[in-house]
Amino acid sequence: MKSIFKSIALGVSVCAFSASAFANHYNTQAQFDRRALTIELQRTLSSPNIFDKTVKALQSTPKGIAITELVKKIEIKELADQSAVASLSQKSTNYCLIDKETKSSAACQTALKQSVEIPEVWMHLPKSYQGNLQKETLYAYPPTGNEQSWERIEAFDRFGNTVWLDKNTPPNVPVIVLETHGANASIEKVKLMNSTLRDLGLQSRNINTLITSEKKSSTATSIQATEDASLMSKIMIKDVQEPWIKGSAEIYMITSGVKSSANDPEIAIIPLNYLDDEETAYYPNQLVLFWSDYTYNVANIQFWEDDADTNYQNLVATLLRAVSDIGGLAGIPELEAVFDIASIIVEAMPSEWYEDNDDFVDSCYTLEKNAYYSDHTCAANNAVISLEPYVLTSE
């Protein structure tokens, strides 16, 4: 196990992609330049026709939309506008995520382990705003680095002039925000993490096919004839402490338990893409625990916020390091073993993940099979969940 950890930890420092394409597919020299893309976005949307259609699309997808998908969604007929939109789309494309063949290339596999970026946009629109959208909308992007070190937010008006915004207080004018580590990138990152966990023997099933299931339907291709599961019917996060410029928090859960008499760990990562706001109850009817994966009838759920500065390779390496000596749990009572796995995961995370209060959210320890949990408050008093037993049947 330690040798596996060593090999994954030795990553080549290769980043995501810029507008220039290397070998017609990828450039492994630079990440997306959010500032440059924001300026390109402002220039493109200086066309009233493009602006109107973009705003309409953003209002229908408040959580955000990938720029490449936005371009497909809006219909532009004028040739000059078509050229501008095509240029923006090209510069916003992560070529390693457009098809399986490109994604499986050695250059893309190396780059994706370092950073998963998908340029997307969302719109901050004050509830009481009654002004002129075309004239007053600003264009901004989240700064790099630790949020505590941010002094202000750089934005641009419709003429390209720089406007400085407060980092803590949302402005009273509309802002179109360009992000590269938003909801779309988070989904791809979780898929890559689960694939790596399976390759390392830390995950029994393809959780990527099961991460969202409605109560009355399931796409669970690996489910047995009948299988016991736990369904999360409600969740509320009290405080995610996200700056306004980052928009909705990208929350994911790590489920863990043991899958053998030797207390071998079982770990899965599940995105919670619907969690937009704090202090808001959501009712996802989401399958989160599959009990055939565990030897004992207890498991943990831990919640984390996807930090733009944390690449998935480092997270998986941290999880692997956390459980590399898990054999030391063999022989201890099952409840203690399950609790210790979750505790080891938390303790192994870098200390800076807790300093900004935007990475670790909460831990729900030793949840039991066939148990009902109604408005169950987790250990840090930040997450409240409701779970209920659910029996899956294959058709």
Q: How many helices (H) and strands (E) does the chain have?
A: 12, 14
Asked if pLDDT for residue 90 goes beyond 80, the answer is: yes
Q: Which is higher by pLDDT, 49 or 317?
A: 49
Distance between start and end Cα atoms, the chain: 38
> Which of 262, 260, 255 is closest to 327 using CA atoms?
262
3-state secondary structure 302-334: EEEECCCCCCHHHHHHHHHHHHCCHHHHCCCCH
User: What pLDDT was estimated at residue 395?
Assistant: 57
Residue 291 near residue 227 (C-beta atoms within 8 A): yes
| Model confidence pLDDT, tens digit, residues 152-193 | 999 999 999 999 999 999 999 999 999 998 888 888 888 888
User: What pLDDT was estimated at residue 210?
Assistant: 58
Q: Please report which confidence band the pLDDT of residue 350 belongs to, taking 50, 70 and 90 as the band edges.
A: low
User: What pLDDT was estimated at residue 323?
Assistant: 64
Structure tokens that stand for 242 in this block: 């996200």
Q: Scanning the structure block, which residue is given the tokens 């320890």?
A: 365
pTM: 0.80
| Model confidence pLDDT, tens digit, residues 12-42 | 222 333 333 333 333 333 479 999 999 999 9
Highest mean pLDDT among 43-57, 248-262, 269-283, 347-361: 43-57
User: What pLDDT was estimated at residue 322?
Assistant: 64
Highest mean pLDDT among 67-81, 86-100, 376-390: 376-390
The stretch 96-113 carries a mean pLDDT of: 78
Asked if pLDDT for residue 201 goes beyond 50, the answer is: yes
Q: What are the DSSP calls for 201-264, one per residue? A: T--SS-GGGTS---TT----TT--SEEEEEEEEEEEES-----GGG-S--EEEEEEEE-STT--
Specify the DSSP class assigned to residue 278: T
Q: CA 30, CA 17: separation in Å to the nearest integer?
A: 6
Structure tokens that stand for 113 in this block: 């382990």
Q: Which is higher by pLDDT, 78 or 337?
A: 78
Q: Which is higher by pLDDT, 89 or 313?
A: 89
